[in-house]
Amino acid sequence: MNANYETLLLLSPELGSEGSKEVIDMLAGIIQRDGGQVDKNDDWGIKELAYPVRKLTRGHYIRLEYSLAPDKVSELERNIRNADGIYKFLTVKLEPKTESKEN
């Protein structure tokens, strides 16, 4: 059974919009290949960093929300670590969505 996850990526601003799209497409392909589904893809744009990362003071933020089998997340993270242009990332497991009942 798939669980819901969110991954926040910090990309090099030097990738540009085409490079960022290629990274997102690559990760979406890996998620779909492993039986998952990308639910949301938010591009937060280029922002100033609180501290330099690899001597850069700006970074391109991308947020992915997806469902994937828990045993496949480590493989996705391995691919993220090996990808060019991704400087940092954070993956968290989201709580299951529940429907609220109003009386």
pLDDT digits (tens, 9 = 90+) for 74-100: 999 999 999 989 999 999 999 877 665
What is the model's pLDDT at position 54? 86
- Name the band, by pLDDT with cuts 50, 70 and 90, for residue 103: low
What pLDDT digit, counting tens, does each position of 35-71 carry?
999 999 999 999 999 999 888 899 999 999 999 999 9
- pLDDT beyond 70 at 7: yes
Please give the single-letter amino acid code of residue 75. Answer: E
The rounded Cα 73 to chain-centroid distance in angstroms is 11
Strand order in the sheet with 37-53: 37-53, 56-68, 3-11, 86-93
- Name the band, by pLDDT with cuts 50, 70 and 90, for residue 16: confident
Tokens encoding 74: 């480590």
Q: Measured between alpha carbons, how far is 96 from 78 in angstroms, rounded to an integer?
A: 25
